[in-house]
Chains A and B, each alone.
Chain A
Amino acid sequence: MKSCVIVFPGSNCDRDLATALALVTGTAPMMVWHRETALPDVDLIGVPGGFSYGDYLRCGAVAAQSPVMPAVAEAAKRGVRVLGICNGFQVLTEIGLLPGILMRNQELCFIGKAIELKVKKEGSSFTSSYEDDTQIRLPIAHHDGNYFADDETLDRLEGEGLVAFRYVDNPNGSQRNIAGIVNPERTVLGLMPHPERAVDPALGPTDGRPLFDGLMQALS
């Protein structure tokens, strides 16, 4: 599996995602600076967490205008897998690869802690290595993770089985407890929790690891 990680000014989980990908796949991903306009030939594009451009505007809005993003959108259209984590999820909604938007957390505070999630497989390679309906524990660390979309979109997401991750105890006010969604082709995943922080047994639980294992199986 060949992968790359997009780096915006202000990305700060780029190294974490690269480390996790290297650990699981055995190959370090290529790091792609946001000013590039073409992408290397890869099976997976990672859009990492952080505060792209400081997120002083709506989170992810400036990164969505970055020179590299048209190439990401084009690759996604071709079926290249795209994984957006935290700020990466926000960026994917801003460029329209995923519907909805991440608003400020309901309590208006940053939340950094481990939370419980329910995983739905629904035929996606991102979740294929999890047991269906299993409960996992992953860290969250965000100020703007409150998922919002209109009812019609939410009904469609649920009806088509596109909600991959749901909060067990909703921490941020997200509509219908949504923590992560895939596109109808199930090639693009955006999620607020950080699976890349939960892959190494030296640091604690490894509930993020199956996400990368599933990708590895599908793409190798």
Chain B
Amino acid sequence: MTVAMGEVTPDMAVEHGLTSDEYALILKLLNRPPNLTELGIFSVMWSEHCSYKSSRRWLKQLPTEAPWVIQGPGENAGVIDIGDGLAAIFKMESHNHPSFIEPYQGAATGVGGILRDVFTMGARPIANLNALRFGAPDHPKTRHLVAGVVAGIGGYGNCVGVPTVGGETNFHPAYNGNILVNAMTVGLAAADRIFYSAAAGPGNPVVYVGSKTGRDGIHGATMASAEFGEGSEEKRPTVQVGDPFTEKLLIEACLELMATDAIIAIQDMGAAGLTSSSVEMADKGGCGIELDLDHVPCRETGMSAYEIMLSESQERMLMVLRPGREDAARAIFEKWELDFAVIGQVTDSGHLVLRKDGAVVADIRVGPLVDQAPNYDRPWTSTPTASEADAADFPLPDAAERVLERLLASPDLASKAWIYEQYDSQVMADTAAGPGLDEGGDAAVVRIHGTSRALAMTTDCTPRYCRADPERGGAQAVAEAWRNLTAAGAKPLAITDNMNFGNPEKPAIMGQFVGAIQGMKNACQVLDFPVVSGNVSLYNETDGEAILPTPAIGGVGLIDDIGQHMTPRLKRAGETLMLIGETNGHLGCSIYLQQLFGEERHRPPPVSPASERRNGNLVRRLIIRGLVSAVHDLSDGGLYVALAEMAIAGQIGADLEVPDDLPLQAWLFGEDQARYLVSTTEPGEVEARAEAAGVPCRAVGRTGGDALTLNGANAISLDTLRAAHESFLPELMARAR
């Protein structure tokens, strides 16, 4: 077979982000120089984004198995068995680089992409979550980015009709030049109707459905695999444009076709578009694919093979159908007014062969393209162990209740209502607990449609912990996700991870990655909380400044009776508040030190997955037994902040006891892990059960009134606290107009 040749030089390989060694390997694999289309295909398939070349060997260390795992990492999304013949399918994915360059479309297409990953596998998406990190609030770009990202997430999710039920938002100067937009989708499918991407059956038709292919998003994957510098905004043409209406039609059409037996394999066209979808389908099936690019529906005329293969136009899918089912499938897509085209066939050659205008324009062996992709063992150095903070060095600078007021108004702890009120969190009419603590909880709770069971879901990470101590930070992110699901009354089942880091070619950054993986691994193992899907986003650096290491964790758990799901808002006055878990007053890397002393260099709190498991299992039993009326996990801001959040949400005050065995600031604001604050009318029973389980537990106060007090003094009204909590974002964003 003769392949059309073009003038490809080693310089062009460098422009495509390939190293000279990588280019040499391409020459060896092809036994000839590639043409431009082939160079483009290698460059995107071997980009960090698609090949995981710096992270692969480390990701392998994460636990991925449990009896309830149906599909772990390696497919479009992870799949877990949730009983009654149903499966939950979920994944989190980053759209960081595009969202910084063009926040509305970057975030919107992030949502669109993760939705496709989930419904590609046969699931109806039932919920979206978003983990967002922005730069310092006063950075000149921050407000523009917040406004654009939030509008983009809402614009896509609201239209497509999947509720946005939760997430998290942090602000930190380390994200000034690289924001993080991590989007998570959870879907539901019949456990015996999961769709995979492995192509099979030589001669079977390869079918393209969805939107037409345009010139947008070319080199998106390559852009996401490099640092930013001056002029990054000029990369705007590499950002795709989303069309949620078409995505909605695509969901309905695909699910309608999936109800038949027409589909052998299906794969969405995400990063690297038609290239990665066709290569992955062929590779997973151990076969070849032949495509005639003249049949690809194009938005504009005169598109080259290179452009068609590298376009990242949105809302497109590639399928292998059973022979003879083309017409039935076409009728469904025509009903939904979507493009449908047979563009090729499965072969037994093991090659990806592309034709255009009658000529072969690319011919690459699929196996080596995937297997021989670079797999680097990057040098790494451990993050030096940080020093412990001594509470005595950081006395309260003001009355405790004034410090609380300041912390509640601080960027990370302030209410995010300005954000989530731009999302439809209720569409599909199964949301039992959405975003925010007034009507939501530590985790979002979404009913499994037509049943009395529910899924709980959350996203978590404390990036400042991860920078000070990557291993503790990685473990804490997993533990907090597990704890948040538990606090909602769910049994935690599995996680998806979104690993956001700087430039892996720097040993210190690679060391952060390695440390975080180590911490996650230990926590996942002890908590029986396997990783079933994930995504890695590296090179989050601008002008050499890296982001905080941010291994964002998306957790999913199961609630057997939706009537038993738990929320943090106080329900009744006169109840006893009980603190579950051990309190040592660990102030290192706390929000208290960050906000009042500008310090986040100390060692974060230790994480004991065994204690997490023991304490959390007790709390879940208390919830199921109906022994508690409100539960909140303790995290950023510690005990005092958690109590304030419960009180504000429930519009019921409380008095908190102050013990004399700890400095006041350590008691109130320490961030020791594995802790929950619960409200109960049966403190004796709670205490007895805790003692039997070997879990530290003590009464720490009572609910009632319309203020928070400490040993009856230091009163601060709930109205004052609510005003502080709700002021930050509206005031920040009002300045943007």
Contact = CB atoms under 8 A, between A and B. Distances in A.
B427 A13 contact: yes
Interface in A15-42: 15-16, 19-20
B439 interface: yes
A13 B421 CA distance: 18
A27 B644 CA distance: 46
A220 B248 CA distance: 35
Nearest to B562: A202
Most buried by B among A56, A110, A112, A194: A112
Interface string A181-211: 0000000000000101100101110000000
B248 A51 contact: yes
B248 A109 contact: no
Given A10-B245, A56-B245, A110 B424 contact: yes
A200 to B, nearest CB: 7
Contacts of A19: 429
B425 interface: yes
Contact of A16 (B154, B248, B421, B428): B428
Contacts of A109: 151, 422
A52 to B, nearest CB: 9
A141 B160 contact: no
B249 A10 contact: yes
Contacts of B248: 9-10, 12, 51
B408 to A, nearest CB: 20
A78 B652 CA distance: 53
Nearest to B561: A202
Interface in B411-445: 417, 420-432, 439
Contact of B245 (A13, A20, A51, A141): A51
Q: How large is the interface on B (under 10, 10 to 19, 20 to 34, 35 or more residues)?
A: 20 to 34
Contact of B158 (A16, A114, A141): A141
B672 interface: no
A13 B428 CA distance: 7
A139 interface: yes
A194 B426 contact: yes
B333 to A, nearest CB: 12
Contact of A112 (B426, B432, B447): B426
B544 interface: no
Interface string B652-691: 0000000000000000000000000000000000000000
Contacts of B452: 202
Contacts of B425: 112
Contacts of A16: 427-429
A139 B161 contact: no
Interface string B235-266: 00000000111101100000000000000000
Most buried by A among B154, B155, B452: B154
Q: How large is the interface on A (under 10, 10 to 19, 20 to 34, 35 or more residues)?
A: 20 to 34
A171 B193 CA distance: 43
A19 B337 CA distance: 26
A55 B159 contact: yes
B306 interface: no
Contact of B447 (A194, A196, A197, A202): A202
Nearest to B337: A9
A50 interface: yes
B471 to A, nearest CB: 39
B431 A203 contact: yes
Nearest to A7: B252
Contacts of A200: 429
B563 interface: yes
Contacts of A77: none
B425 to A, nearest CB: 6
B426 A139 contact: yes
A19 B427 CA distance: 12
B429 A9 contact: no
A156 interface: no
Given A10-B249, A204-B439, A54 B426 contact: no
A10 B431 CA distance: 20
B243 A54 contact: yes
Contact of A15 (B159, B245, B421, B428): B428
A58 interface: no
B380 interface: no
Contact of B161 (A50, A110, A203): A50
B161 A111 contact: no
B424 A141 contact: yes
B426 A141 contact: yes
Contacts of B336: 9
A194 B503 CA distance: 47
Contact of B159 (A54, A112, A197): A54
B439 A114 contact: yes
A148 interface: no
A194 to B, nearest CB: 7
Nearest to A10: B245
Interface in B682-717: none
Contacts of A197: 426-427, 429
B249 A20 contact: no
A153 to B, nearest CB: 29
B432 A204 contact: yes
B324 to A, nearest CB: 26
A15 B423 CA distance: 19
Contacts of B426: 112, 139, 141, 194, 197
Interface in A45-75: 49-51, 53-56
Nearest to A199: B429
Given A10-B245, A109-B151, A109-B422, A203 B430 contact: yes
B243 A112 contact: no
A53 B245 contact: yes
B625 to A, nearest CB: 20
A71 to B, nearest CB: 19
Contacts of A9: 245, 248-249, 336-337
Contacts of B431: 203
B436 to A, nearest CB: 9
Given A112-B422, A202-B562, A203-B447, A12 B432 contact: no
Given A12-B248, A202-B447, A202-B562, 17 more contacts: A9-B248, A9-B337, A10-B249, A12-B427, A12-B428, A13-B427, A13-B429, A16-B427, A16-B428, A51-B161, A51-B248, A111-B421, A113-B417, A143-B158, A197-B427, A202-B452, A204-B432
15 contacts: A10-B159, A10-B248, A12-B160, A12-B427, A12-B428, A13-B427, A13-B429, A20-B429, A51-B161, A109-B151, A110-B422, A111-B421, A112-B422, A112-B426, A143-B158
What are the 10 A-B residue pairs with the smallest beta carbon separation, nearest first?
Answer: A12-B161, A54-B245, A16-B429, A141-B424, A51-B159, A112-B424, A113-B421, A110-B422, A110-B154, A139-B426
Interface of B: 151, 154-155, 158-161, 243-246, 248-249, 336-337, 417, 420-432, 439, 447, 452, 562-563
Interface of A: 9-10, 12-13, 15-16, 19-20, 49-51, 53-56, 109-114, 139, 141, 143, 194, 196-197, 200, 202-204
